[in-house]
Amino acid sequence: MSNVLVFGHLNPDNDAIMSAVVLSQLLNQVNYNGDTYEACCLGPLPAESAKLLAEVGVDEPRLIECVEEGQQVLLTDHNEAGQSVQGLEHAQIVGVVDHHRFGGFTTAGPLHIIALPWGSSCSIVAKLFDVLGQEISDAQAKLLLSAMMTDTLMLKSPTATAIDATIAQRLGEQLGVDPVKFGMEVFLSRPSGSFTPEQMVGNDIKLFEVGGGKLLIGQYETVDKSRALGMIPEIREAMRAYMTEKGADGIVLCLTDIMEEGSQVLLEGETAIAQKGLGIDDVAEGVWMPGVLSRKKQVAAPIMAAE
């Protein structure tokens, strides 16, 4: 019997946290493979995740910085080493449950891979309850639905599929809530009014290897972009500092307004590929891109394709 560590990506968002927490519960519930599963996280919890876990009385995942050689791990909501734990190259990856692209993924042994291009990793976890013949408890439904709503921006993101909508509907009925209204409450529980420029940059950011360099792509989601737009010089300074700290060559930051449904895109450093992929120039105050809500589909993917 092994203790498998289950965790989402660095700079965890609500989907990274809830997919690890609820998937661990499910696998423990069915005594999957005779192993135990421990939910972990690779960074501090987003405010909404901490609040939701406290509300349903579930322990916060354990914060880890690195894993020992040979440690069994199960990755949720990511698969790229650059977005994962230190020491991953010497760990044993026993599974991946994800909804992202795969970037140069190799393992020493066979493993479980469940990858579906749905709106959130938690939609996949919800489906796995069906697969393993388990009922979703109300607490689990609440945690899963919260992440489905934050990851798909209340199903408005182009990453949201009809399957996500169906699962959200089902979980909402179980909880007696309207999924979109519930999701908006989760968003509004974020203390966005107090975000510093450093938090806007580092809160939700991922590293990509592209064009022979390292490009950081961050996203700050808000229900009102006006506060962020008044802080552009400070945000750009924080972007340069973050890029230097991480040894990256360039950085892209999307200030995403979920009410106006678009993103103000800022660029710093070496961003020729990003400019080509997005079809924008490096403008001091950033470029407003209407309809751009998904980093994965509308920002990272076209940049990768421009390589």
Binding site for Mn ion (CB under 5 A): 15, 77, 121, 151
Q: How far is CA 125 from the centre of its chain?
A: 14
Cβ closer to Mn ion: 203 or 275? 203
Cβ closer to Mn ion: 48 or 151? 151
Cβ closer to Mn ion: 15 or 164? 15
**Cα-atom radius of gyration of the chain, to the nearest Å?**
19
Residue at 138: amino acid letter:
D
Q: How far is the CB of 121 from Mn ion (least distance, A)?
A: 5
Which tokens in the block code for residue 188? 């509004």
Cβ closer to Mn ion: 190 or 236? 190
Cβ closer to Mn ion: 12 or 269? 12
Which residue is nearest to Mn ion, using beta carbons? 15
Burial 67-77 (b: 16+ CB within 10 A, else e): beeebbbbbbb
CA distances from 214 to 60, 102, 121, 204, 251 (A): 32, 17, 25, 16, 9
Determine contact, residues 295/217, Cβ cutoff 8 Å.
yes
Q: How far is the CB of 16 from Mn ion (least distance, A)?
A: 7
Nearest to 179 by CA among 224, 120, 130: 120
Determine contact, residues 255/220, Cβ cutoff 8 Å.
yes
Determine contact, residues 3/72, Cβ cutoff 8 Å.
yes
Cβ closer to Mn ion: 81 or 115? 115
How far is it, in rounded angstroms, from Cα 107 to Cα 229? 43
Q: How far is the CB of 77 from Mn ion (least distance, A)?
A: 4
Q: How far is the CB of 38 from Mn ion (least distance, A)?
A: 20
Q: How far is the CB of 13 from Mn ion (least distance, A)?
A: 7
Q: How far is the CB of 4 from Mn ion (least distance, A)?
A: 20
| Residue position matching structure tokens 């599929």 | 161
